């Protein structure tokens, strides 16, 4: 807390004491001329007043000194980071503006980086270790940067740098050297960072806008452990604007029913009859038209909105099955599969919630297949097995989607309570082009039979693939060779036509 210093008050007191001293001097002078007893009293008062003036003057100077120190301390806190001692964001902005406004002889780049999984470091090793890393990074930057370059700690584990840029090759080498120095700081663990760069050039953007663009580049690689830095591209800004538009509209779109169910039929290899379909979400945006999942599902995975979409799709499928039970006998045996995100694995009450929805629409859970991706299952096997067992107890079918994409543990697969195994499209389409790939698929299909799993081939696109999979004993086909995803009305018409021609 800063001590309050009232200069006016001290001046008034000093003047009052000075006046008192003058009065005492005058009294003393008069007393001397009269040679009375008052001489002693006057001299005493004169001395006391003089001492009081001296004390007040000394106190005033001390107070002013203390006040100046407080001002310097506050200025230090305002301009520099309290932990590392390096400049803070406010100082960095001022210095950047000064350099960019006055120095046109050099090209500069704005660099933003943060520490990967910094929260985990604090949790595992303690905040003291985290603080030591931040301080060490500040010292590395101080030694590594040139005299005309700047750096600052923006917040938490975020640092920003204004660096000279003389060419892509030379600059990239400098960045890589800096990253290596930071990576090798600790003997206990590697300190990994994600870095974004914006090449400034001739621009009218302010410092905040420059750092925002560098931050966009950093965000583009944040989940990629193979890449440590990225340069800003205008497409990143366009993508961010689109993301903001989607996030601003997603709740309203869900409430107004803009998300629609599309169905991709599943065919038996044996007689090529339709036995069900996979429910796929489409966004029918009034302004941009029909949007495919890859344009919004990845964002919904990041912001958590996918949980609402999955539940919405599940309920929409239940409504559809209830409609078919009442109106279309030929569709009552169709099993519809619904995808569920990995985020649902945090909810141990998921089985009960899904059962409540099926009960609401009087749907038998055995008419619905819950699709969980391979990576989701094998990254959360203990909790996932418990959820899967619970779903199975209620009668739902369980399928493992995208099998073959991740590095699967066949031993774990043996213990999973799944009913259906879906071969990943990419894995399947590449493996049938050579003898070794065909042997792998054959082994996978044989393994699935030994585990009493129904097999589904996704992405079937050619007659050769159909013949091969049929020969090797795959049960169900799904792909463009047979049918693309379609709206509900098209699917109903397709099934009716199929039944007529059977």
Backbone φ, ψ for residue 151 (5° rounding)? -150, 160
In this predicted structure, what is the pLDDT of residue 383? 78
Q: In whole angstroms, what is the distance from residue 346 CA to residue 66 CA? A: 56
Q: In whole angstroms, what is the distance from residue 451 CA to residue 445 CA? A: 10
In the structure encoding, which two tokens stand for residue 52, read together? 């009081």
Give, for all 502 residues of the chain, the pLDDT tens digit. Answer: 344 445 556 556 665 666 666 666 655 555 555 555 555 565 566 666 666 665 666 566 665 555 555 555 555 556 778 889 899 999 999 999 988 888 777 889 999 999 998 988 888 889 999 999 999 999 999 999 988 899 999 988 999 999 999 888 899 999 999 999 999 887 777 889 999 999 998 777 899 999 999 999 999 898 777 889 999 999 988 888 888 999 999 999 999 999 999 999 999 999 899 999 999 999 999 988 999 899 999 899 989 999 999 999 999 999 999 999 999 888 889 999 999 988 887 789 999 999 999 999 999 999 999 998 766 665 556 777 888 899 999 999 999 887 766 545 555 677 788 899 998 776 666 555 567 778 888 888 888 888 899 999 998 999 988 998 999 899 999 999 999 999 999 999 999 888 777 6
Among the listed residues 66, 78, 58, 52, the one whose alpha carbon sits nearest the alpha carbon of residue 4? 66
> Which residues are bridge partners to 337 per DSSP?
278, 369
Alpha-carbon distance values, 337 to 23, 396, 484 (Å): 104, 10, 16
Length of the chain (residues):
502
Question: Kind and range of the H or E element at 89?
Answer: helix 89-102
In the structure encoding, which two tokens stand for residue 371, read together? 């699709």
CA dihedral 417, 418, 419, 423 (to 10 degrees): -160
Q: In whole angstroms, what is the distance from residue 153 CA to residue 148 CA? A: 17
Among the listed residues 248, 243, 423, 267, the one whose alpha carbon sits nearest the alpha carbon of residue 335? 267
End-to-end CA distance of the chain: 88
Burial of residue 436 (CB within 10 Å: 0-12, 13-18, 19+) is: exposed
> Is the pTM of the predicted complex or chain greater than 0.85?
no
DSSP code for 267: E
In this predicted structure, what is the pLDDT of residue 2? 41
Q: In whole angstroms, what is the distance from residue 429 CA to residue 478 CA? A: 13
Among the listed residues 181, 18, 158, the one whose alpha carbon sits nearest the alpha carbon of residue 88? 158
In this predicted structure, what is the pLDDT of residue 102? 83
Number of H helices, E strands in the chain: 18, 15
Question: Kind and range of the H or E element at 437?
Answer: helix 435-450
CB atoms closer than 10 angstroms to residue 222 = 13
Q: Provide the angle, in degrees to the nearest 10, between the axes of the packed helices 127-144 and 118-125.
A: 130
In this predicted structure, what is the pLDDT of residue 49? 62
Evaluated on CA atoms 70, 76, 81, 83, the torsion sign reads: negative
Alpha-carbon distance values, 134 to 215, 399, 425 (Å): 19, 46, 45
Alpha-carbon distance values, 139 to 129, 158, 182, 243, 360 (Å): 15, 15, 10, 37, 63
DSSP code for 366: G
Q: In whole angstroms, what is the distance from residue 264 CA to residue 480 CA? A: 9
Q: In whole angstroms, what is the distance from residue 131 CA to residue 375 CA? A: 35
Among the listed residues 129, 154, 303, 170, the one whose alpha carbon sits nearest the alpha carbon of residue 218? 154
């Amino acid at each position: 807390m800063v001590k309050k210093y009232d200069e006016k008050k001290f001046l008034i007191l000093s003047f009052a004491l000075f006046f008192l001293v003058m009065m005492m001097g005058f009294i003393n002078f008069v007393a001397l001329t009269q040679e009375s007893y008052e001489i002693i009293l006057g001299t005493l008062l004169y001395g006391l007043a003089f001492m009081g003036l001296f004390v007040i003057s000394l106190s005033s100077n001390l107070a002013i000194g203390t006040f100046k120190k407080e001002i310097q301390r506050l200025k230090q806190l305002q301009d520099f980071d309290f932990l590392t001692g390096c400049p803070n964001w406010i100082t960095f902005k001022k210095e950047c503006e000064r350099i960019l406004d006055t120095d046109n002889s050099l090209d500069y780049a704005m660099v933003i980086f943060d520490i990967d999984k910094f929260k985990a470091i604090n949790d595992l090793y303690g905040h003291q270790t985290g603080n030591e890393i931040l301080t060490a990074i500040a010292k590395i930057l101080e030694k590594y940067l040139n005299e005309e370059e700047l750096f600052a700690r923006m917040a938490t584990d975020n640092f920003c740098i204004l660096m000279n840029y003389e060419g892509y090759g030379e600059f990239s080498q400098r960045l890589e050297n800096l990253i290596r120095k930071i990576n090798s700081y600790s003997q206990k663990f590697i300190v990994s960072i994600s870095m974004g760069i914006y090449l400034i050039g001739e621009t009218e953007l302010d410092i905040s806008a420059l750092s925002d663009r560098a931050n966009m580049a950093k965000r583009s690689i944040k989940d990629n452990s193979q890449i440590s830095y990225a340069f800003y591209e205008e497409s990143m800004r366009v993508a961010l604007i689109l993301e903001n538009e989607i996030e601003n509209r997603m709740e309203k779109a869900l409430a107004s029913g803009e998300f629609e169910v599309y169905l991709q039929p599943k065919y038996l290899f044996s007689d090529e009859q339709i036995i069900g379909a996979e429910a796929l979400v489409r966004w029918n945006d009034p302004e941009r038209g029909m949007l495919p999942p890859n344009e919004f599902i990845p964002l919904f995975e990041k912001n958590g909105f996918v949980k609402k979409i999955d539940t919405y799709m599940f309920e929409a499928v239940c409504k559809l099955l209830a409609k078919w039970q009442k109106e279309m006998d030929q569709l009552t045996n169709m099993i519809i599969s619904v995808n569920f995100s990995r985020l649902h694995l945090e909810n141990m009450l998921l089985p009960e919630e899904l059962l409540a929805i099926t009960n609401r629409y009087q749907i038998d859970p055995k008419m619905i297949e819950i699709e969980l991706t391979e990576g989701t299952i094998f990254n959360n096997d203990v909790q996932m097995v418990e959820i899967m067992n619970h779903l199975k107890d209620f009668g739902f079918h369980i399928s493992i989607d995208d099998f073959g994409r991740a590095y699967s543990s066949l031993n774990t697969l043996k213990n999973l309570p799944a009913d259906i195994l879906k071969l990943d499209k990419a894995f399947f389409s590449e493996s049938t082009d050579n003898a070794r790939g065909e042997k792998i698929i054959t082994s996978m299909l044989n393994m699935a039979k030994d585990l009493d799993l129904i097999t589904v081939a996704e992405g079937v696109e050619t007659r050769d693939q159909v013949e091969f999979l049929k020969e090797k004993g795959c049960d169900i086909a799904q792909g463009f060779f047979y049918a693309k995803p379609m709206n509900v009305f098209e699917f109903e018409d397709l099934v009716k036509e199929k039944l007529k021609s059977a």
